[in-house]
Amino acid sequence: MKLYKVHQQLASCPLADPAAEVHQQLDAMLAAGHAVPQGEVAITAGSRGIDNIAAITRAAGEWLRAHGASPFIVPAMGSHNGATAEGQQAMVESLGMTEQAMGMPIRSSMECVKVSEVSTGDVWMDRHCYESDGVLVLNRVKLHTCFSGPVQSGLTKMMVIGMGKIKSAQTFHTAHSFDMKHMLLEMGQKLVDSGKIWAGLALLEDGFDRTAEIHAVPGDEILATEPKLLEKHRTYFPSLPVDDIGVLIVDEIGKTYSGTGMDTNVIGYRGVRGGEDLDRPRIKIIAALGLVEASKGNAIGVGLADFITRRLRDAIDESKTFINVYTTGDMERAKIPATLADEEELVTKIRDRYGDAGWMFIPNSLHLGTIYVTEDLVDAVRANPICTVDPEPVDLTFAGGRHQLAWG
């Protein structure tokens, strides 16, 4: 099989100094009259592979300390990493946010305090957040993988599901996917009304997964501000360059790249039975080759693929994956696809059954600056104004069952 290397000119506008931008944004909020709590302030830390997350979190802590607060970090990731305090702290530390590196303590617990209730259940808040003098909610704003709406993945979701641990995650995911956009706002408002949310730091990343914007938002303005930030995120969000694809090969999946292992907004398939789905792109077959180590065995979203390798299957921590998927209720995403010995056999079997037309190879669903396509897709790719295609193809070769494509 011959493949053409494609380069997508995605939006590129990384901040030169994200830590300085954190200070500047918080300074502006302070100047606008939003006083800093003079006591303990919790800073939320999620499980995603967010660009500059350690530097941004450390800068937030330094700023708070300089203004009279005593900051600490709270792992806020719903049911992720086994839904244990130890597992969630380990996840935070694996992202470079150790107590020594951050200069502040980490307080990890699955214990929560009930702050309100909604139609599907109770609304909870991490005990350490609840007992603090204020919470600085820190998260990246982006499209959600289960539903559409004015607020999706970002500060509100971090408050509702991240800080609410597995209990609020269950309340939220009890709602039908059509109702989640309303449930998120309703539960978010309950948490804002608790008086514990001091402010938010919303991060936007460009098309190359680099920090492009940081916004400090007063706690009582988060729900009104986040829809505007989500619309700005859409201008950065990377996508596949063509809509009709025969076979998509994804080199790695995992929570580092998306809450569902593969971003459903990229692959056009949510895998939620009876839920709303997307109309593009249209992909006939999806194969996943590996699970990123940073996902710590959580292979949520593996069921979105049709084929996987034995290497990926052996990397799955079934307990962690089950807890995460069971909490969301979307069990399709945990199903184990047809498993083949290695990448070479996987490609061979798919070619034998589905032919050589319409193939695309991507490193993961987050980093789409460099991809490979078969010759029949080249004209459609060239028609996309952000794409350039190398003039000569490369052969798809294997060594030890692994492909030899270069993503750089």
Q: 294 pLDDT band (50/70/90 cuts)? A: confident
Q: 345 pLDDT band (50/70/90 cuts)? A: very high
Beta bridge partners of 78: none
Query: Which pTM does this prediction carry?
Result: 0.81
Q: 277 pLDDT band (50/70/90 cuts)? A: low
Please report the DSSP string for 186-219 in residue order.
HHHHHHHHTT-EEEEEEEEE-TTS-EEEEEEEEG
pLDDT value, residue 150: 84
Residue 339 has pLDDT above 90, yes or no: yes
Of the candidates 406, 402, 404, the residue with the CA atom closest to the CA atom of residue 390 = 406
How far is 182 from 257, CA to CA, in rounded Å? 26
| For the chain, domain boundaries | 2-10+239-403, 18-234
pLDDT in tens, 48-80: 779 999 999 999 999 999 999 999 999 998 877
Element spanning 100, H or E: helix 99-102
198-213 average pLDDT score = 96
In the three-class reduction of DSSP (H, G, I as helix; E, B as strand; rest coil), residue 134 is classed as strand
pLDDT value, residue 335: 94
Q: 193 pLDDT band (50/70/90 cuts)? A: very high
What's 363's DSSP letter?
Answer: S
Of the listed ranges 58-72, 100-114, 177-191, 235-249, the least confidently predicted one is: 177-191
How far is 270 from 194, CA to CA, in rounded Å? 33
pLDDT in tens, 107-137: 999 999 999 998 888 999 999 999 999 999 9
pLDDT value, residue 177: 67
Of the candidates 133, 134, 137, 144, the residue with the CA atom closest to the CA atom of residue 217 = 137
Residue 331 has pLDDT above 80, yes or no: yes
pLDDT in tens, 251-274: 999 988 888 899 998 998 877 665
Amino acid occupying residue 322: F
Q: Dig out the tokens for 134 from the structure.
A: 């204020």
150-158 average pLDDT score = 89
pLDDT value, residue 120: 81
Q: 276 pLDDT band (50/70/90 cuts)? A: low
In the three-class reduction of DSSP (H, G, I as helix; E, B as strand; rest coil), residue 172 is classed as helix
Q: Please provide the average confidence, as pLDDT, over all residues in the chain.
A: 92
Please report the DSSP string for 69-99 in residue order.
-EEEEEE--TT-GGG-HHHHHHHHHHTT--H
CATH superfamily, domain at 18-234: LarA, N-terminal domain (3.40.50.11440)
pLDDT value, residue 121: 86
Q: 83 pLDDT band (50/70/90 cuts)? A: confident
Share of the chain above pLDDT 90, in %: 75
